[in-house]
A and B are shown apart, each in its own frame.
Chain A
C-alpha cells in the first residue's frame, strides 16, 4: 500500500470510465425502449417487407438492439478492466 495516492487516483479514473459507459448504455436503452416508440405513428407510414416500421421496431427491432447492446457493453467493460489492470486473473 505504498503507492496509495496513485492507486486511488487509478481507481477514480476507472470508476469515471465505468460510469461513462453506464450512461452511454442507458442512453441507447432509453432511445430504443421509449424515444423511438413515441414516433410509432409516423414510422408506421414506412413499410418494409410488409412490416410497418413502427410496429417492427416494437416487435423485433428494439429487441435485437438490446441483445447487441448487452454484448457490446460486456466487451467494452472487459477492456476497461484490462486497461486499468483490475480484471480478474
Chain B
C-alpha cells in the first residue's frame, strides 16, 4: 500500500496537475472548435475524456481491504473530504434544475437554497463528530450498536432504502438526459452508458475510489458552473462577479416587471408558497440533510474526530460556492428574457430561443401553429400579432443553466463544459447513493444479520455483486422514464428526516433513550410521513374521506358525480393537514418521532450501565469506543 501513502501525501500536487490538465484540455477543444471540428465530436470528446478520467481513478483505487472499501481507510483529509461531500451532495437537480426553480419561483425558491445549506450546521454540531468517533462503517451500524441489535438496524435500513432508492433513480435519469442531449444517442442507451460510468468508478474500489473520483468531479462541476455566469455577468455589467452584480440586474428586473405588468415580482416573498410551506420546506430539507445516509457516511472517512468537524465546514464552503451563485443564473436569465425576448418581433428573437426551442425546452408561442415549431407550446394559444407577449413565452427550468452559454453568445466549447459539469454532478451523487444502498445491504443485512462469520474476501465479493445488482435495477427503473421521479427526490428528505434524525440525535444527546423508544420512534415518524405522502399524492379522495369535514366530502362527491374539471385542483388543495404540501411531510413525521421516542423511553427501563458507558465513550474524542455487551465488534 506504499502507493496509497504517496498518493495521500501528494494530494495537492495530484489535483493541481489534474486541474491544469483539464484547463489545457478545454483550451485545446476551443482551438479545435475554431478549426471547424463539428459540435457532436466536441461533445463526444468532453464526455469521453471526463468519464475516462473518472474510470481511471476508479481502477487505480481498487482495493481488497474491507476498511478501504467501506470508509476509504479513514485517511481522507478534511479539505478533500469536503470536496468529495460537495460532489456527493450536489446532484443533477442542484446543478441544472435549481437555477430554473429560482427563475420561476423567485424569492420562494430560495427555500431550497437555504434548506440545502443550513442542514450542515446540524450535521456539524449534532452528528458528524460523534458518528466518526463511533467509527464503524454505516449509519445502520450505529443504530444497531446503540439500540440493541438487529431490529433497530433493520428499521434503519428500511428508511435508508426508502430515501435513497428514488434518489439514485433520479440521478441515473439525469445522467441519461445529459448524455442523450450532448451525444445524440437514445435516452435508454444513454442511461446504460451512464450506468457503466458509475459502476467503473465505484465497483472495484468502493468508498476509496468514490472519494477520489468525487474530488475530481467536484473540480469539474464547480468550474463548469461558475464560468458561464461569470462571463455573462461581465458581458451585462462589465464585472465578472455575478454574485455581486446580480443586485444591479435585479433592480432592472424590478423596473421591467412594472412596464411588462408582471404580477409575481422576483424579489417578493410568499407569492408561490405561503409562509407555512416556505418555512416548513426549509425545516424539512435541513433536517433531511442531517439524516441522509450517503452524506453522513462521508464523515466516517476522516482520520480523526477533529478532522470530521472541520470537514463539515469545508463541505459547506464548497457547496456554498455553487448555491450562492445559483440565484444569479436566474436573475441574469430573467433580465435577458425581459429585455430581449418579451415584446420583440417573433421574427427577430435571439438565436438561443430557436436553438433550445428545437430541443423542446423553450417555446415562443405567438403564431397559431407555434406548437408545430415548439413542442413546448402545446396547449398555449398565442394572439398571432407577430409580437411575443409575456404569456406566450415558456421556458423549462432545465434550460436556464444549459442555455446560458448561448444567451451570453459563448462558443460551443462552453456548452460542452456545462454538460460535462452536469454529468459530473449526476455521476458523483449516483456513486455515493449506490454505495450507501449497496453497503447497507452487504454490510448490515448480509454480514451483520445473515452471516456474521463471513471472511473479508467473501464480504467484498457480496458487496460488489449487490452494487451491480442495485445499479441495474435503478438503471432499469430510470430507463422506463417513471413519471414524477424528480418530485420524488424531494420526498427523500422528509422520509430520512422523520425516520433517522430523531433516533440518531437522541441516541447521542439523551442517554435515557431506550431501544424500544427508538424503534417505535422510527416506525411512527417514518410511518406518519409515508402515510401522508402516499395518501395525499395518490389517494386524495380517501384522504378527504378520512379527514375532511362533512361539507368538504359532500362537495367532493358532488364534483366527482358531475365530473367537474376543477376536481384535480380541488383535491390537491383540500387533501392536506393544515395546508402543508406533502413535500414537507416531515413537519408531521419529525415531531411524532421525537415525541414517541421520548414517551416510550420514559416508560421503558433505562439503558444498561454498559450502554451508558458506550454513549460516554463516543461523546469524547479521546479513548476507545466501549461497545455494550452483545453489540457486534468492528474488525
Chain A residues in the interface with B (C-beta under 8 A): 11, 14-15, 18-19, 21-22, 25-26, 29, 32-34, 37-38, 40-41, 44, 47-52, 54-56, 58-60, 62-64, 66-67, 69-71, 73-74, 77-78, 81, 85-89
B120 touching A66 by the CB < 8 A rule?
Answer: yes
Q: Is B391 close to A, CB under 8 A? A: no
Find chain B residues with CB under 8 A from A85 CB: 622
Of all chain A residues, the one with the shortest Cβ separation from B133 is A88
Instruction: State in angstroms the CA–CA spacing of A62 and B115 once bound together.
Output: 11
Find chain A residues with CB under 8 A from B248 CB: 49-50
B129 touching A67 by the CB < 8 A rule?
Answer: no
Instruction: State in angstroms the CA–CA spacing of A87 and B621 once bound together.
Output: 6
Q: Which of A14, A58, A64, A88 contacts B113, CB < 8 Å?
A: A58
Of all chain B residues, the one with the shortest Cβ separation from A19 is B509
Find chain A residues with CB under 8 A from B317 CB: 67
* 3 cross-chain pairs, A with B, having the tightest CB-CB distances, nearest first: A50-B247, A74-B309, A58-B110
Find chain B residues with CB under 8 A from A19 CB: 509
Given A11-B620, A22-B125, A63-B323, are A54 and B269 neighbors across the interface (CB < 8 Å)?
yes
Q: Which of A40, A73, A81, A88 contacts B124, CB < 8 Å?
A: A73
How many interface residues does chain B have, given as a range? Answer: 35 or more
A52 touching B125 by the CB < 8 A rule?
Answer: no
Given A59-B327, A60-B243, are A33 and B124 neighbors across the interface (CB < 8 Å)?
no
Find chain B residues with CB under 8 A from A70 CB: 120-121, 124, 312-313, 316
Of all chain B residues, the one with the shortest Cβ separation from A8 is B616
Mind listing 22 A-B residue pairs with CB under 8 Å? A11-B616, A19-B509, A32-B118, A33-B118, A44-B267, A50-B247, A50-B249, A50-B250, A52-B250, A54-B267, A55-B110, A55-B269, A59-B113, A59-B327, A63-B320, A64-B320, A69-B121, A74-B306, A74-B313, A77-B309, A78-B306, A81-B620
Given contacts A34-B283, A55-B107, could you give 12 more A-B pairs where the C-beta distance is less than 8 Å?
Answer: A11-B620, A14-B620, A29-B121, A37-B279, A50-B246, A54-B107, A59-B327, A62-B118, A63-B320, A66-B320, A85-B622, A89-B622
Of all chain B residues, the one with the shortest Cβ separation from A81 is B621
Instruction: State in angstroms the CA–CA spacing of A66 and B306 once bound together.
Output: 19
Instruction: State in angstroms the CA–CA spacing of A81 and B308 once bound together.
Output: 14
- CB-defined interface of B313-339 with A at 8 Å, one 1/0 digit per residue? 100110010011001000000000000
Instruction: State in angstroms the CA–CA spacing of A39 and B249 once bound together.
Output: 24
Find chain B residues with CB under 8 A from A55 CB: 107, 110, 250, 267, 269
Q: Is B619 close to A, CB under 8 A? A: yes
Of all chain A residues, the one with the shortest Cβ separation from B244 is A49
A26 touching B125 by the CB < 8 A rule?
Answer: yes
A88 touching B622 by the CB < 8 A rule?
Answer: yes
B376 to chain A, nearest CB (A): 28
Instruction: State in angstroms the CA–CA spacing of A89 and B621 once bound together.
Output: 10
